[in-house]
Structure 1
Amino acid sequence: MPDSIPKRIIIFDDDEDILSICSYILEEQGWQVHTFTDCNDIINKVNGIKPDVILMDNWIPDIGGIQATQMLKKNDELKNIPVIYFSANNDIQTLAGNAGADTFLAKPFDIDELEKVIKRVMTPHS
């Protein structure tokens, strides 16, 4: 029986171009996309949507992606939601590790990479 509930994703990024491109691509694939240009009140934002995946930018206002991700990962209700950390910073692997993100995606990225990394975190680890 096909799952009729759309998968939900939140994208935290203050770059409107990235938000619109990612939203367009993901909506085409049947995702319900929610976007925020800051991560203020992040626990309530995420709690209100209960996404399947979160894309987190490193330079998101006001507290930044590392602190925002750490807050999510410390929250018992939200800590199991996969967080994909994305940034143009060439030290992204370290940043993602410090944040406690599940994986990372370097900017600029292509559509295939975006799809692959989302699929990877959505597939339960066996």
Structure 2
Amino acid sequence: MKEKDRDNAKSVLVVEDDRDISEVVSFILENEGYHVQTNCDGHLFPEDWKDRPSLILLDIWILDVNGGDICDRFKHDPTLKDIPIIMMSANRDLSVIAYNCKADDFLSKPFDIQLLIDKVARLIA
């Protein structure tokens, strides 16, 4: 992505400890025109962000961190609650987990590429 295009792009933060999945998701979303940042350890400190993301794609388990807890914390923080969060997992209880932590949507792994694109576009629009 060109520098000037990056300035106008919506940004997505991908929080995923599986580097292959993180790279595939980044590639897909960058091809759709999004600026993608990644985080592989789940330790999210908004004060350290260079750019506030327009959306967060968050795995349920990132190393020793519970993504549901991260989502719940963000959704109860007045300064962060408006950032849409899509929970990702192969867990069969994903819809319940996403509902309980107030995620905006969820995406089951393995995921359909077009479904990923559609969900991100809908929540960032």
Coarse TM-score class (shorter-chain normalised): 0.7 to 0.9
Amino acid at match of 1:62: D
Amino acid at match of 1:100: K
Unaligned stretches of 5+ residues in structure 1: none
Residue among 100, 103, 109 paired with 1:101: 103
Residue 30 of structure 1, CA deviation: 1.2
Residue 63 of structure 1, CA deviation: 2.5
TM-score, normalised to structure 2, is 0.88
Counterpart in 2 of 1:76? 78
1:21 pairs with 2:4: no
Please say if residues 7 and 51 of structure 1, whose CA atoms lie closer than 8 Å, have aligned partners that are also in contact: yes
Identical positions, percent:
37
Residue 72 of structure 1, CA deviation: 1.0
Please say if residues 14 and 38 of structure 1, whose CA atoms lie closer than 8 Å, have aligned partners that are also in contact: yes
Q: For residues 98 and 61 of structure 1, what CA distance do their matches in structure 2 show?
A: 21
Residue 95 of structure 1, CA deviation: 0.7
Residue 70 of structure 1, CA deviation: 1.1
Amino acid at match of 2:64: D
Amino acid at match of 1:21: V
The CA RMSD over aligned residues, in Å, is: 1.9
Unaligned stretches of 5+ residues in structure 2: 1-6
Q: For residues 40 and 71 of structure 2, what CA distance do their matches in structure 1 show?
A: 15
Amino acid at match of 1:8: S
Please say if residues 42 and 68 of structure 1, whose CA atoms lie closer than 8 Å, have aligned partners that are also in contact: no
Counterpart in 2 of 1:117? 119
